[in-house]
Amino acid sequence: MQTLEITLVTGSSGAGKTTWIQQQIRPIADTAIYLSLGSDETAIDATYLAAEIPGLTVLPVTHLANFSEQPPDKHVIYLELGFHVDLTSLILPDKMVVHRRVAVLPPGTRHPECHDWADLVVTGVKTSVALQQPHLWRSVLSGQVLDLASLNTFWYELTHGAYGTIQRAKGIFDVADGRSLYFDFVAGLPETTHLELNLPLWLNGRPDRFSGIEVVGEMLDQEAIAQTIKECCLNDQAIAYYQQQIKDSLEPGDEVA
C-alpha cells in the first residue's frame, strides 16, 4: 500500500504560511500537491498558488479522502492549516503519514500549542496589530466583476480601519478589464499594490472562476464591508460594455478566457 508523506503547516494569521509553502514548492512544483484546510469555499491561497506556480497540483479539501485512496504519482504534499483550525482535532486518512509539522510564527512569539506540536518553527513576519479575539470574515465573490477604482477605494478604507481593526486581509477579485487581481495586506508591513494573477483575461460575461475575500480583525463591521463590496460590483450591462472595449483593443494571439 502506498503511503503519502505530507507536511502540515500552521501558524498565526498573516505570519506567512502560504509564502513559506510557496518557497518550498516552487522548485518542485511538478511533483507537489497543495491543499488548504480551513479555507472552506474561500480558496484564496489555493487559487493564488495555482495561478502563480505552473505545474502545481492544487486540490480542494473535499477531494482529500478520494485522493488518499487513489493517490497520483506525486510525492510531496503540503497541507496548509488555517490559523483557526484546532490542531488537536486534526484526523488524517490512514494512508497519510505526517512527514513533518511546521509552524510559521512572528519573530519572538511563544505559542505553546504550536511549539509543542511543530517539528520545525519558522520565523515569519511580525504584524503591528495584536488581536485579543481574532474574528474571521469571508465572502465568495465568484461571478462578480468589480470596478477597479472602487475596489482601490474600498481596499484603502478596509486596510486603514474604516470597518474595524484589521490585522490581515486578502482577496482575489475579477475586474472590468478581464484581469484577476490578488490583494494582500498584513498590518505593519509596507503596503503593496495588487498583483495580477497569471490567468487569462475573462472577457465573456461573468467569470466562471473563483474570487473572494478574507479579513481577520476585531470589531469588524461585516455588514458595511459586504455592502461596500456590493457597491463596487458592476451590472451586466456595464460588464458587457467594458469587455467589448477590451476585446476591441486586443492583438491577435492575446489569451482570453
Partner 1 sequence: MKIAVMSCIHGNYEALNAVLSDIDDQNADKVYCLGDLVGYGPHPNAVVEMIRALDIPTCQGCWDEDIVEGLNACECSYPSVLAEKRGKLAHDWTNQVIHPEVREYLAQLPFSLRDDNLCFVHGSPHNQHEYLLPEVNAFVAMERVLATGADVLFCGHTHVPYVRSLDAGQLQIRVKVTGKSEANMSFSAPLKRIVNAGSVGEPRHGRPNATYVIYDTNDDQIILREVEYDYQKTCAAIIEKGLPPIFAWRLARGMEFAERADDPTHVCER
Contact set with partner 1 (CB under 8 A): 147, 149-150, 152-154, 156-157, 160, 162, 224, 228, 231-232, 234, 238
Looking at the Cβ atoms of 136 and 148, the one nearer to partner 1 is 148
Looking at the Cβ atoms of 12 and 228, the one nearer to partner 1 is 228
Least Å from the CB of residue 162 to partner 1:
5
Looking at the Cβ atoms of 223 and 255, the one nearer to partner 1 is 223
Looking at the Cβ atoms of 115 and 160, the one nearer to partner 1 is 160
Looking at the Cβ atoms of 84 and 160, the one nearer to partner 1 is 160
Least Å from the CB of residue 150 to partner 1:
3
Least Å from the CB of residue 110 to partner 1:
36
Least Å from the CB of residue 226 to partner 1:
14
Looking at the Cβ atoms of 156 and 188, the one nearer to partner 1 is 156
Query: Can you tell me the distance from the alpha carbon of 107 to that of 126, in angstroms, rounded to the nearest whole number?
Result: 6
Cβ 209 vs Cβ 199: under 8 Å: yes
Least Å from the CB of residue 242 to partner 1:
11
Looking at the Cβ atoms of 228 and 243, the one nearer to partner 1 is 228
Residue among 25, 15, 115 nearest 79 (CA): 25
Least Å from the CB of residue 52 to partner 1:
27
Report residue 82 as a C-alpha cell.
Answer: 488555517
Amino acid at 152: N
Least Å from the CB of residue 61 to partner 1:
34
